[in-house]
Chain A
Amino acid sequence: MTTPKVLVLRAPGTNCDHETKYAFELAGGQADRVHLNRVLENPALVEQYQIMCIPGGFSYGDDVAAGRIFANQLRSQLADVMHEFKNSDKLILGICNGFQVLIKSGLLLEDDAQGDPPATLCWNNHGLYEDRWVTLQNSTDKCVFLRGIQQVYLPIAHAEGKFVMRDQQVADQLESNQQLALRYVNSDGAPADGFPENPNGAQRNVAGVCDDSGRVFGLMPHPERFLDGTQHPRWTREGLQQEGDGVAIFRNAVEYFA
C-alpha cells in the first residue's frame, strides 16, 4: 500500500495540529505540520501531498468570525492551488476550526450566484463555548471519510458550530444530494431533539458536511481526540475500547490511496 502524504496546515492560532498529525500517522499516513506562511510563499508546496487537513484551533483568534481570516486568505491568495488540489482526486478534511475555514472559503460548498457560501457556521444557540461529547450518525454513502461508519461518539469543543443554510432550497438540495453527511443523534440513534444532544442548534442536526464528490469533508466534532480507549469520558465505567471511534475517519482517508 502506498503511504499518502498528509499536509496538516496550521495558521497563527491553530492548536490541534500535533494530535491531528499523530492521528494520521497512527492510521498509516505520513504527515507534516506546515505553516500557512510557507504555502503563501510557495503555493506549489501543496502538490506533493495527497491529503490536506485544516485542524482545529482559533486561527487568527477567530477574530471577526471563526475561521474567517484564514478562509479569506484561501479565497484571495490560494484559490487556484486549492481548487486544483480539490479537483485532482485528493482529499481535504477540516476539523472544527478547519470546517469553519473550509465552509467560509467556498472550498466545501460552491458559492451561490452572489459569490457567497450557501451555508455558514455561527454562534451556538446558548451563546457560549461548549466542550461536550456527542453521538453522531453517518447519513451519507458518498463521504470517503465516513465509509463503513454508522455511529461515532466524539467530543465537540467550539463556540461557533451552529450550521445554518441560506434557505430551505439550499437545505433540500444538500440533503437530497447526501451532503449533510454527519448528524447529531440521541444515544438511541434517533434524530437529536434539541440541546444537549444537538449542542449548538445546528439546522437539521448537521455536524458535518461533504462536497458533491465526497472527498472534501468538514465536521465540528474532534475525531483526533478519540484515538484510544482512555480518552472516552466513561472508560472507567464501561471498560477500555480497543481503539477510539475517531481512528476510522483517518484510516478511511489513508486507505483511499491504498
Chain B
Amino acid sequence: MSLWEIDIYPAEGHVDRAGEEITSDAIDLGLAPSIKVAAVHGYLLEGSIDADEASLLANKLLADSIVEKTVVAPVGDPLLNEAPVDGAILVHVINKPGVMDPVAMSAQQGISDLGIGVEQVRTFRKYWITGVDEASVHRLAEKVLANDAIELAVHGPLQLEALAMGAASEFELKTIPIRDLDDDGLELLSKDGQLYLTLIEMQTIQQHFQQLERDPTDIELESVAQTWSEHCSHKTLAGRIAYKDGETERHFENMLKETVFAATVKIREELGAEDWCVSVFKDNAGIVTFDDDFNVAFKVETHNHPSALEPYGGANTGIGGVIRDTLGTGLGAKPICNTDIFCFANPEIAHSDLPAGVLHPRRVMKGVVSGVRDYGNRMGIPTVNGAIYFDDRYLGNPLVYAGNVGLIPKEKSFKEALPGEWAVVIGGRTGRDGIHGATFSSAELTSDSEMLSGGAVQIGNAITEKMVMDVMLEARDQELYSCVTDCGAGGLSSAIGEMGEEIGVEVYLDKAPLKYDGLSYTEIWISEAQERMVFSVSDENWEAFRSLCESEGVEATIVGKFVDHGRLVLKYQDTVVGDLTMEFLHDGRPPIIRDAHYQIPEVQPIDLNGKAGNLEQDLVAILGSLNVASKEWVVRQYDHEVQAGSVIKPLVGVQNDGPGDAAVVKPVLGSNRGITVSCGMNPRYGDYDTYHMAASAIDEAVRNSVAVGADPSRIAVLDNFCWGYTDRPETLGSLVRAALACHDLAVELKTPFISGKDSLNNEFSYQNDAGEKVTISIPPTLLISAMGQVDDVTSCTTMDAKEAGNVIYLVGVTKRELGGSHWTLVNELDGGAVPTVCPENCNKTFPAVHQAIKSGLVRACHDLSEGGLAVAAAEMAFAGGLGLKLDLAKVATDADYQGDEDTLIKLFSESNTRFLIEVAPENCDAFESGLEGATLSRIGSVTEDDQLVVESGGQLLLSTPVGQLKEAWQSPLRW
C-alpha cells in the first residue's frame, strides 16, 4: 500500500485564477498588498499503485496536459514541498475526516475505469504565499483559505500515513437513567445531549418512562427529541398562543391552523366545485392543479443555521433538501424550477467590525451563491427567480430560502405505505454528517456554535441526488412503490418515523449502508447524511425496484418493515435498541403555551418640506442601494434555461439585463401552458408594523406574477417565517400579527397558502470588547412566494419599455406611505406611514391588469416596489434602452398634497398594488375602458432620447440620462 500525492499547477502561460482571487480576498482582509498567493489543487491516492501508474493517473486522468502541469510523488517527498518562489510559505487545506468529498468519489470511479487498484482518494488544496509574515499567513488561513467547520489548515508539508478512517466499534446498548433525575438534571441532560428539549418536555418523557418502569435507551431519547424538535414539529407556531395587541385579544389552540391554514380552508369552501387546491399543508410540498394531465407542487425551505457556519455547504444542502421535498411529494414530482432568496449583512462591512465567530458577509454571500449554483445547476433544474435582501441585522444569522416547483401526474398526487411493505432507503450512504441538525435548528447561535455543532454541517453531492431523481421517477412510472418521503432533518428517524406514523414500523439499523465503520446505532438513526430517500416497497416489487436502481448505479437497501402494531421498534442485529409507541412519539409532546404581545406603533410623521432638493441624487442612491441594485452577477451564475421551458427569463430587455418582475416557465415540452414564480419580502416594513409588512409581501408577490401575465384567480402562495427568539412575547407577538395579515389578505385575494415553513430563534450572541453580552436579532422576515399560472405563455409581457411614442399609465393609488421606504433608507430618516394594502383595490386592479395583458393591449408592465414610481420608471427606461417622459401632476393620489410633499410622495412612496404600464397609442381606448374599475393615471410616454424626464404641471423636476441611472444600478454588485 502506498500513498501518492498529485499536485496540479496551471501550465506556463495559463492564469492561476484561484490564486488571484485569494490574493484579492487577502488584501480585502487587510493583509499587506505585497501578498501573493499561488493556488494548487491535488489528490491523495492510497492503494497498490506504482510510480508509472501514479504518473499515468496524474497526466491522463486528473490533470489537463494543455492547461495544467503536475508534480507526482509519495506523500512527504521533498519534491512536493519545493517552493515555486523563494521564501514562499506553504499551507495545505484538507477536509476534516468524514466530510463529503464528491470529487474524490468521482476520481475513484475514473481510476477504477482505468483498471488501477485504488483504495481511497481525497482531494486537497495547497497554497504558496509570499510577501507577508507567518502571522499573516495564519490569519489568512483562518479567514480565507479554510473553514474550520469542515476543513483543516495544515501549515507546512503534509504528514499523512494513511487515508482510511473509521474503525469498527463494539456494539453496546446504552440506557439513560432519567427516572430519578431532578429538574436540574433533566435540563442538563437536554443541553449536554444536544436534545434542546424544554423542561416540561423532559418531564413528560420522564413520566412516560416512569410509567413503563424502565429507563429509555439513548436512541429512544434521541427519537423523541428529533420528532419533537422545532424543525420537525413546529411546536411554537402550531402551539397554544395567547395573543393581544391593544386592539384585539385571541387565544389560539394551534396558531398556524387558525390563521394561515384556515384561510385556505375558507377559500376552498368558497370555491366549491371550482377548488383547484389538491393537497395542502400535509405533504412535503403543497399541490394544486395545472392542466389535464398534471398537477404542480411547490415548497420553499430555509437552511439558515447551517449556512451561517458553512455558507457553501449550508446553501448547497438547502437547495438539495427542498428538491427532495418535491421529489418526496405524492409519489414524486419532477422538479421544474428553483427559486432562491437570501438575506445578508452589508458585504462591505470592515473586518475589524465583525464580532468573533461571524464569517464576513461577503464570504457568506459568495459561499451561499456558489452553493446554490453548484447544486441547482448540477441537478438540471433552472433557477428562475430570487431576491437578495441586505440588512446588518443578518450579520450573525444570514437567511437562505430555497424553493422548488415540481410537476406531478395527477394520479400520482397521493401515497400511503401499507403494512407488510419494506422500508427501503436509496441514494447516498449514511455517515456522521449533520448529526443533531434538527435539534440544532431550535438553538440560538453563539460565537461557540462553530465548535459545538460542527457536526451539523453537511456538504451535498448533487450527482447522487440527480441519480436518485432519475431512477425514482422511472420507478414511479413503473408503479414499483406505494409511498416515498425524503430524508431531511432528523434523517431516517424522521423519514421512517413519519411514514410509519399511522401503521408502525420495525427498523434494522445494522442494515443501513455506511460510508465508514464505527457509527453507533443511534448515529445511524439520526444522521442527516444527504441525498437519501425512503420508499415503501411491496415484497412483490422489491426485486424490480432494486434492479432498476442498480441499473443506474443507485444503491437500494431494505432497512425496515412496516408492521401493523402502532410501534416504532428499532433493532441492531438481534437486539431491540428502542421500542416506542407511535402515539407517544407523535402525540405525546406537551403543548407549548406562550404569550404573544404586540404594541401597534403610532405613526410618527416625517416632515417632507425642504427635502425635495436632490431628487436625482435620491434616485441614484436608491438605484445603487443593495436591495434594488442589479443582481446580474448572481443570476448569470445560475442555469436558468435548462429543461428548455424558460419563457420569461430573470433578466429581460434590449440588452438582456433588466430586472424582470417574475419568471415564466412552460414545464411541458410542446405545450404553451405556463407557471409564474415570484416573491415578496420587505423586512423594513416590519420595523413599523408586521401586519402591513405581511400584507405588503403578499401584494408584492402577487403583483409581480400578475405583471408578467399570471391569472390572479389561480395564484398559490407559500409562507416562510424567519424570526428572532419567539420565547419573548413581543417577538412572538410580531409574528402572530403577521400571520393574522396572511389570513386576512389570502381570504380577500383568494390566494390560498398551500405550504409553509418557519425558522425561529435567529439570534446571535457574542461578547463585545467591554465583555458585555450583545445579541443581534434578525428583523422579522416573512418571505411570500407566489406560483401563478398562464393559459398561453405567448400572451406574457415584460417590464422593459418597448417603443418610443407609446403611452405610459400608472395603475393604482399613490398614498403618503414613505415609512420603511428606500427613500427614507438612503436619506437616513425614520418615521412615516408604512404601506398598507386595500383588498378591494387589489380585486379591482389585478383582474383588470391581467385581462389587459391577456388581450395583448400591454407592451410593458412593471410593478412598483422599493423606490416607488421613480425607480420603476428608471428601470423600465434603461431595460428598454429608451427614455420616459412623465408628468407627476397626472398621478392619482389619495389626498391633495402640495409642494415638496407632493413631489416626494409621487416619486418615492411605496404604496402597494401599483403598476407602470406601456400601451401603444392605438390601444389606449381599449386599455382605458378595460381598466375602468381601477385607478388609472395617464402620466406620460416613451421617448427616443434616452432621458428620464419628470415634470409636474410644466415644472421640470428631473432630467437624467438613463445610461447614468443604469450604471448606478449595475455597479454596486458587479463583482
Contact = CB atoms under 8 A, between A and B. Distances in A.
Q: Indicate whether A and B interact.
A: yes
Contacts of A94: none
A16 B466 CA distance: 12
Interface string B456-483: 0000011100110000000000000000
B380 A37 contact: no
Interface in A81-114: 114
B109 A233 contact: no
B641 interface: yes
Contacts of B644: 16, 19, 22, 224-225, 227, 231
Contacts of B552: 12, 35, 37
Interface in B359-383: 373, 377-380
B109 A69 contact: yes
B565 interface: no
Nearest to B650: A131
Given A130-B636, A233-B649, A236-B648, A35 B672 contact: no
B583 interface: no
Contacts of A122: 64, 66-67
B656 interface: yes
B100 to A, nearest CB: 12
Interface string B92-118: 000000000011011101100111000
B797 A236 contact: yes
A236 B463 contact: no
Contacts of B797: 236
Contacts, number: 166
A120 B115 CA distance: 24
Interface stretch (A57-65, A137-145, A205-213, A250-258): A57-65
B895 interface: no
B17 A127 contact: yes
A79 interface: no
B666 A230 contact: yes
Interface in B634-660: 635-644, 646-649, 651-654, 656
A147 interface: no
B110 A72 contact: yes
Contact of A116 (B65, B551, B643, B802): B65
A133 B113 contact: no
A69 B553 CA distance: 15
B669 interface: yes
B794 interface: yes
Contacts of B638: 129, 131
Contacts of B463: 12-13, 58, 60-61, 63
A230 B644 CA distance: 10
A127 B636 CA distance: 13
Interface in B607-655: 635-644, 646-649, 651-654
A164 B115 CA distance: 29
B17 A73 contact: no
A76 B113 contact: yes
A132 B636 contact: yes
Given A127-B21, A131-B636, A234-B654, A15 B103 contact: no
Contacts of A133: 656
A165 B107 CA distance: 25
Given A63-B102, A72-B61, A122-B67, A237 B802 contact: yes
A198 to B, nearest CB: 15
Contacts of B17: 123, 127
B378 A233 contact: no
Contacts of A123: 17
Interface in A133-179: 133, 155, 157, 164-166
A129 B103 contact: no
A128 interface: yes
B197 to A, nearest CB: 39
A215 interface: no
Nearest to B643: A19
A70 B62 CA distance: 13
Interface residues of B, number: 64
A248 to B, nearest CB: 16
Contact of B553 (A37, A73, A77): A37
B61 A64 contact: yes
A18 interface: yes
A60 B551 contact: no
Contacts of B641: 131, 155, 157, 222, 225, 231
A116 B793 CA distance: 48
Contacts of A73: 113
A141 to B, nearest CB: 28
A236 B21 contact: no
Interface string A218-251: 0000101101011101101100100000000000
B796 interface: yes
B474 to A, nearest CB: 10
Contacts of A236: 648, 652, 796-798, 800, 802
A19 B637 contact: no
A5 interface: no
Interface string A43-84: 000000000000011101111110011001100110000000
Given A16-B642, A233-B652, A22 B110 contact: no
B110 A58 contact: no
B954 interface: no
B378 A61 contact: yes
Contacts of B672: 230
Interface in B807-825: none
A119 interface: yes
Contact of B466 (A12, A35, A240): A12
A63 B653 CA distance: 35
Contacts of B639: 129, 131, 157
Contacts of A120: 64, 66-67
Contact of A58 (B62, B377, B649, B800): B377
Nearest to B798: A236
Interface string B220-249: 000000000000000000000000000000
A11 to B, nearest CB: 10
A61 B656 contact: no
Q: Give the 5 A-B residue pairs with the shortest CB-CB distance, closest first.
A: A15-B380, A63-B106, A19-B644, A61-B463, A63-B103
22 contacts: A15-B379, A22-B670, A35-B552, A37-B552, A56-B642, A60-B106, A61-B462, A76-B115, A122-B66, A128-B636, A129-B373, A129-B638, A130-B637, A131-B639, A131-B640, A164-B67, A165-B66, A222-B641, A225-B644, A231-B641, A236-B797, A237-B800
Given A116-B66, A230-B672, A233-B649, 16 more contacts: A15-B378, A15-B379, A15-B642, A22-B669, A35-B552, A58-B466, A60-B106, A60-B110, A63-B106, A65-B64, A69-B109, A72-B114, A120-B67, A225-B641, A230-B666, A237-B654
